[in-house]
C-alpha cells in the first residue's frame, strides 16, 4: 500500500495548472446553445412540421412546447449546479414544477381533444423519421453533457445523470413536437412522454457508469481504487 506522504508527493508532482470551471449558469447556457445549434441544423435539414403555422395558434400546443423547453432549461441548470460538490442537493427539485406543468398540459390536451388513430394513421415512414430525430437530438446532447460533467462521477453520479437525462429528454421531446406532425393523441403521448421516459431512464441507468468511464479516460490520473 502506498503511504499517504508518498501519495502527496506523487500528486504534487502531477500538479499541472488547471483551467477553472466557468460558473454553472454559464456552462448550462453553453450546453443549451449547443442544443439550439443541433435543433437548428435539424430544422435546416428536415424543416419544421408542415402544419407549424396552424399549431402555433393552438394554446395547448404552445403551452406544451413551453413546458418541454422550460423543463429542459431548468434540468440543465440543475444538473450543472448539482455537479459541484458544495452545492445543495435540493437543486434537484428546480425542474419539477416545469415538468409537472408540461405533463399536465399534455395530459389535459389528450383528454380535451382525443384524436383516435385509424389504421391508415400508422405511417411507417413518419415513425422512422421520428426515431431519426430522436437519435440525432439525444445522442449528441447526451455526449456533450457527459463530457462537460465527467468530473461529477466521483461526487454525485446518480443525481447528475438523472438531471442530465431529464434535460436531454425534454429537449428531445421539444424537437419531436417541432419537426413531426403528431396528429393522434396516442402518438403525442408516445413521442413526448415515451421518448422522455426512455431517454431519462437510459440516462439514470447508464449515466453513472458512463460518467465513470468518461472520468477514467479523460482525466490525468486513473480512478482511485485503493481498496483491496
Partner 1 sequence: MSAGRRNPTPLTIVSASRLHDSRKASDGAEWSKLMARSQDGDREAYRTLLEDVTPYIRSLAARCFKQPSDVEDAVQDVLLTIHMVRHAYDPGRPFGPWLAAIANRRIIDRLRRDTRRKAREVELSTDHETFAEPSANLHTETADEVALAQAIEWLPPDQRQTIRMLKLNEMSLKEAAAASGRSIPALKVATHRAIKSLRRMLKQQSNSP
Residues that bind partner 1 (CB under 8 A): 1-2, 4, 7-8, 11-21, 23, 83-86, 151, 154-156, 215, 219-221, 224, 226-227
d(CA 161, CA 152): 9
The enclosing H or E element of 131 equals helix 124-148
Tell me the three cell numbers of residue 111.
383528454
Quick check: 214 and 147 in contact, CB under 8 A? yes
Q: Closer to partner 1 by CB, 3 or 118: give it.
A: 3
Rg (CA), the chain: 21
Toward partner 1, which CB reaches closer, 53 or 226?
A: 226
Closest CA to 66 of 34, 38, 106: 106
* Residue nearer to partner 1 on the CB measure, 18 or 45: 18
Q: Cβ closer to partner 1: 144 or 186?
A: 144
- Placement of cell 503511504 in the chain: 3
Q: CB 118: neighbour CB atoms within 10 A?
A: 8
CB of 19 to partner 1, least distance (A): 6
User: Closest separation between CB of residue 23 and partner 1, Å?
Assistant: 8
Residue 169 CB, nearest approach to partner 1 (Å): 25
Nearer to partner 1, 11 or 132 (CB): 11
Residue 9 vs 51, nearer CB to partner 1: 9
Is the CB of 81 or the CB of 180 nearer to partner 1? 81
Q: Specify whether the CB–CB gap between 184 and 115 falls below 8 A.
A: yes
Cβ of residue 85: shortest distance to partner 1, in angstroms?
A: 4
CB of 15 to partner 1, least distance (A): 5
Backbone angles phi, psi at 17, to 5 degrees: -60, 140
Residue 197 CB, nearest approach to partner 1 (Å): 28
Query: Do 123 and 184 meet the contact criterion of CB atoms below 8 Å apart?
Result: no
**How far apart, in whole angstroms, are the C-alpha atoms of residue 47 and residue 180?**
9
Distance of closest approach, residue 91 Cβ to partner 1, in angstroms? 13
CB 187: neighbour CB atoms within 10 A?
Answer: 22
d(CA 140, CA 125): 23
Amino acid at each position: 500500500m502506498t503511504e499517504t506522504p508518498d501519495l502527496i508527493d506523487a500528486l504534487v508532482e502531477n500538479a499541472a495548472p488547471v483551467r477553472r470551471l466557468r460558473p454553472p449558469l454559464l456552462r448550462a447556457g453553453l450546453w443549451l446553445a449547443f442544443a439550439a445549434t443541433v435543433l437548428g441544423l435539424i430544422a435546416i435539414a428536415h424543416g419544421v412540421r408542415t402544419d407549424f403555422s396552424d399549431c402555433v395558434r393552438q394554446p395547448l400546443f404552445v403551452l406544451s412546447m413551453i413546458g418541454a423547453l422550460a423543463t429542459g432549461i431548468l434540468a440543465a441548470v440543475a444538473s450543472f449546479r448539482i455537479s459541484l460538490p458544495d452545492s445543495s442537493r435540493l437543486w434537484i427539485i428546480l425542474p419539477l414544477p416545469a415538468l409537472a406543468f408540461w405533463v399536465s398540459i399534455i395530459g389535459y390536451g389528450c383528454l380535451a381533444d382525443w384524436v383516435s388513430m385509424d389504421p391508415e394513421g400508422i405511417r411507417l415512414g413518419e415513425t422512422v423519421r421520428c426515431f431519426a430525430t430522436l437519435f440525432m437530438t439525444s445522442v449528441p446532447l447526451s455526449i456533450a453533457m457527459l463530457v462537460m460533467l465527467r468530473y461529477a462521477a466521483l461526487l454525485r453520479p446518480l443525481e447528475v445523470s438523472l438531471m442530465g437525462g431529464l434535460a436531454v429528454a425534454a429537449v428531445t421531446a421539444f424537437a419531436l413536437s417541432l419537426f413531426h406532425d403528431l396528429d393522434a393523441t396516442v402518438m403525442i403521448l408516445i413521442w413526448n412522454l415515451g421518448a422522455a421516459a426512455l431517454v431519462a431512464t437510459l440516462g439514470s441507468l447508464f449515466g453513472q457508469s458512463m460518467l465513470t468511464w468518461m472520468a477514467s479516460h479523460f482525466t490525468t490520473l486513473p480512478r482511485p481504487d485503493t481498496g483491496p
